[in-house]
Every structure is written in structure tokens, then in C-alpha cells.
Structure 1
Amino acid sequence: MQAPFVWFHHNGEKSNETKKFFETLLGWKPSDGPGGMTMLAGEGGPFAALASKTERYGDQSAWIPFVMVDDVDAATQQAISLGAVLLKEKSRGPAGYFSIVRDPGGAAIGLWKKA
């Protein structure tokens, strides 16, 4: 596999309710994260974040998986050339750079490179 999933972002609108839901259902441990996000951790450490009320990507409430790429700009341009729609231009996050695109089937995916 070229690029396995390396992170997950919950793009929902009700982060407080979602945080309580996953903490109770699956035992995921929430903590404050950058930009008002809530980080979720399991036994192996953090693996996902819940959107803040102001930092959502696109208009759908869903989990967005992130994959590691060698070059965010090149991967984003290739995705667009293959029919993807750009949801979030290349941005700097806490651990690297990322963009988010919606594939031709309608699902969002994050393209990420570690800083």
C-alpha cells in the first residue's frame, strides 16, 4: 500500500456530544488540542481529532481519513486532475502540511506530509 491512513479527523458539528459519545462507547481519551480541536487517544496515543466549531472541512459531517504523501502540492494537483474537488488548500497543521479533497465519489480525504 502506497499511503496507509495515518490520522483521522471527525468533521462533525457537535464536538462536545461526539467527545462524550466516543469516550463512553470506546474508552477513547479526549484532550485539548491545537486550534480548539479535541484530540482522541487510545492505548497507542493520539490518532484522531474532533473538529472545532470554526475549523470544519466542507459541508459534510463525517470522518476524514488522512494519508501520508511525499508532496502535498503534487498530490493535491494530481487528485484535482483525476476529478477531485479541493475542500481545503494546503495548510500548516501541528505536525505538518495538509490539504483536503473530495474524491469523485463524494468522500473527503486528507493529503498530509510530516513537517
Structure 2
Amino acid sequence: MRAWPATLAVALCAFAAACISTTRLDTSGLSFSQDPLIGKVVWNDLITDDLAAVRAFYSGLFGWTYDDAGSRHGHKYVLARAGNAYVGGILEVDDRADGKPLSRWLPYVSVDDVDAAVQRTKSEGGRVAVPPTKVNLGRVAAIIDPEGAVIGLARSRIGDPDETSTAPALGRIVWTELLANNPQQAAKFYAAVVGYEPLTAARRGGEYTWLTHRGTRRAGLFENPSSEAEPVWLTFFAVDDPAASAERVQTLGGRVVLPPSPTLRDNTIAVVTDPTGAILVLQKFPT
């Protein structure tokens, strides 16, 4: 984890660079809430060590197109679109010195006050990967929870993308879920830091916790099923056929970690990685 703060600092700098001018950020495919949507994932960045490879992969898998958002300290940053709506950003960073994989999706969750949330993070036993940083569209930071999962925090000055902007559609992000070793402690941590109101219910395969705010389900929390896997925030993408999409992942240079099966949420998801090792979940849509 020692390399992550530096990597995340680069990511936030690139995100800031992309937000320097609202004229460079085409918001025609977005509409914004007048009130903060606390707890909602409002942006996602893919951090990767091979920009060309992931551009080809996600274009082939989801049909994405890209807008060049320049570079920061020599690190290229592009914005990905599904149709006319932005899906997220892709940042190319240098390989880690220790050779360990670094590619992953990083969600940013809306909070009431980034600086206060960072202070709550430290009080609850988490760490600050990147301190609060001012960008033209607001303020952002990145934290590491007590189990090591990384997430971004954001407070936008122009409002959060509303439910219309983020409505489920093929090729777009439709859900975010934390795999935690101790779901009860994780729920307590994020309730304190973000303001979530956890709601736990029994489901096939074990208990599942929805991280809600004012009655709206914003993210999920599930017990990590593998002792070998690190706790991580998973990003779900809508596809019409998880099995066919998983096969396409392999032809595009990715890897299938868990194919669809009756025991894996009734054949509705597949867990895969892109060519650089970033994990993602293919979610059947409509369900």
C-alpha cells in the first residue's frame, strides 16, 4: 500500500487538470442536483499502467469513445463516454517499483464536507492517501479504510450528477460494492465518515448490507469471500449478456475471474479483469 498515496496523488492531480475549465468538460449529457446527493458515487477513475490497452479493451467491450483531457506531470488522462454521457476518467501512471499490479477502478463518493470527512476518517482508524485538494469543480480527497480499501471523496460546487444523468444503461456504471473482511466494522466506518445509514438483510450467499442515505441505496457491502483477495471497492457495468460479455473479455485480452453461475447471483454477474489487471463486474441489464 505504500505506493498508493503517490499514485492517488497523481490521479487527483489529473482529475483536477480535467476540471480546470468547465468549457473543456462537456456537460451536455449531464444534469445536476441542486442539493448534495450524500453517499452517491459521483465519479469513477480507472488507474492503469497501459492506456492504449485499456482504451481498446473498453471500446471493444462497451463501445466507449474518448476525449483527451491532457496530461499532468507527464501522465495522460482521458475521459470515457458511453453515448454522450461521461462514464469516468482513465489515468495512465508508471509501473510500481515493486512490480505489483496497480490498475484498479477508483470511485469518488459525495460527502457533505471533504475536510470534515477526512478528519472523521482519521478518527475512525482510516488513513489519508491524498489530503483535501481544491479543483475548479469543487474539492476532492482520497482515503484508505482500516482494511485497506481505497475510495475518493468529493464535494462539487456545481452539484452532483442527478439520477437522470446516472440512469442505468448498457456500458455504464450501475453499482458500486465493497468487499470487506469485517462487514459490520466497515459499515460502521463508512457510516461515520460518509454519513451512510447501513441496512442489512439476509440474501442467498449470506448477509448483504446496503449503504443508504435518506432511504436511497447508494452502494453495497458484502463479506469478502476469499482470504487471498484484498478488500476492494468493486465497480459494476451494465451488459445485456454477462456470459457473452465474459467471453468477449478474453478475446480482448482480459481475464475471467468468476464466470456467471447459478450460485453467483443467479447468473446475473461475471467478475473479470481488464488487460492491465483492474477488476470489474459485468452486471446483467435489465435485471
TM-score category of the 2 structures, normalised to the smaller one: 0.7 to 0.9
C-alpha displacement of 1:21: 0.9
- RMSD (Å), alpha carbons: 2.0
Q: 1:47 aligns with which of 51, 72, 87?
A: 87
C-alpha displacement of 1:61: 2.2
Answering whether residue 112 of structure 2 is matched by residue 76 of structure 1, we say no
Structure 2 residue runs of 5 or longer lacking an equivalent are 1-36, 95-100, 158-287
Instruction: Give per-residue Cα distances to partners, 1:85-106, cap 9 Å, x unaligned.
Output: 2111111335221000111222
Letter in 1 for 2:124: L
Letter in 2 for 1:96: G
Distance in 1, Cα, partners of 2:84 & 2:144: 29
C-alpha displacement of 1:47: 2.5
Distance in 2, Cα, partners of 1:87 & 1:69: 17
Answering whether residue 69 of structure 2 is matched by residue 29 of structure 1, we say no
C-alpha displacement of 1:78: 0.7
Q: 2:107 aligns with which of 51, 65, 68?
A: 65
C-alpha displacement of 1:23: 1.0
Query: Given that residues 49 and 102 in structure 2 are in contact (C-alpha distance below 8 angstroms), is that contact kept between their aligned partners in structure 1?
Result: no
* Structure number, greater radius of gyration: 2
Under a length normalisation based on structure 2, what TM-score does the superposition of the two structures give?
0.36
C-alpha displacement of 1:53: 2.6
Instruction: Give per-residue Cα distances to partners, 1:61-84, cap 9 Å, x unaligned.
Output: 211110111111001111122122
Equivalent pairs counted in the alignment come to 111
SS at match of 2:48: coil
Highest RCO, 1 vs 2 (Cα 8 Å, sep ≥ 6): 1
Structure 1 residue runs of 5 or longer lacking an equivalent are none
Letter in 1 for 2:77: M
Query: Given that residues 34 and 94 in structure 1 are in contact (C-alpha distance below 8 angstroms), is that contact kept between their aligned partners in structure 2?
Result: no
Query: Given that residues 47 and 93 in structure 2 are in contact (C-alpha distance below 8 angstroms), is that contact kept between their aligned partners in structure 1?
Result: no
Give me the identity figure in percent.
Answer: 26
Runs of 4 or more consecutive aligned structure 1 residues displaced over 3 Å after TM superposition: none
Distance in 1, Cα, partners of 2:136 & 2:56: 24
Q: 1:114 aligns with which of 146, 150, 156?
A: 156
Under a length normalisation based on structure 1, what TM-score does the superposition of the two structures give?
0.83
